[in-house]
Amino acid sequence: MTIQTNVRGKALKVLDPNYEQKVRDSFNHQGVMQVHNGELVHVGLGTVEVHVPFSKGLAQQHGFFHGGMVAMVADTASGFATYTVLHPDEECLSAEFKINFLYPANGEKLIGRGGIIKVGKSLVVAEATVSVVRDGEEIDCAFMVHTLARTRHVKSGAVNKPNK
C-alpha cells in the first residue's frame, strides 16, 4: 500500500519553509510518542511517516495492536502531514476521522504514512495508511480519512498538569 501524497493532482504550497523542524519539535513534545517509542522516520511537504514498535501498552486481548492504537498512529501521521502545509501561525484540530480496518494488526511494528488530499481555506482533508511489520514483511492493515480544521496556535499555557 503506497501512500500517494498529492494523488489528487494539486501541487502543495510551502506556507512555512520551517515545516520539517516544527513537525519534529511538536512530535518530540507528544508524550504518547515518547512513552511508546514512536519514531518520526520521514517528514516531507504533505507527507509524514511514523513508526511505533509493539509493546504491552498498545495491545488488545490477543496481543495484537489495539484498533484504537492503529487509529492513533494513523491520526498522528495524517495530522502531522497536515501540519506541514500550514502557515507558521497555524495549527490544526481534528474535526473527525474515519478508519477502515483491513487486516489484524499482528506484528512487531506499526508504520503510519500520512498524506494530503485537499488544503482548503478552513479545512484540510488528509489521509493515512497503516501497515504492520511481521517477520520483516509489511502488511496493510488500515487506512484513514481525516478532516482537520485550521486554527490559530493553541496557547501552550493551556497545558494539562496531571498528577501535580
CB 86 within 8 A of CB 126: no
- In this chain, which of 11, 31, 136, 137 binds a second copy, going by CB under 8 A? 31
Is 136 an interacting residue with respect to a second copy (CB under 8 A)? no
Is 162 an interacting residue with respect to a second copy (CB under 8 A)? yes
Question: Cα(126)–Cα(118) distance, rounded to whole angstroms?
Answer: 7
Number of residues this chain uses to bind a second copy (CB under 8 A): 71
* Residue (of 129, 128, 119) closest to 149 by Cα position: 119
* Per-residue binding letters, 96-115, with a second copy (x by CB under 8 A): xxxxxxx-x-xxx-------
Is 21 an interacting residue with respect to a second copy (CB under 8 A)? no
Q: How far is the CB of 111 from a second copy (least distance, A)?
A: 14
Amino acid code (one letter) for 142: A
Question: Cα(73)–Cα(101) distance, rounded to whole angstroms?
Answer: 13
- Which of residues 44 and 53 has its CB atom nearest to a second copy in the complex? 53
Is 135 an interacting residue with respect to a second copy (CB under 8 A)? no
- In this chain, which of 32, 41, 42, 88 binds a second copy, going by CB under 8 A? 32
Question: Cα(117)–Cα(6) distance, rounded to whole angstroms?
Answer: 6
What phi and psi values does residue 69 have, to the nearest 5 degrees?
-80, -30
Q: How far is the CB of 73 from a second copy (least distance, A)?
A: 7
Residues 40-79 touching a second copy, rule: CB under 8 A, are 53-64, 66-69, 71-76, 79
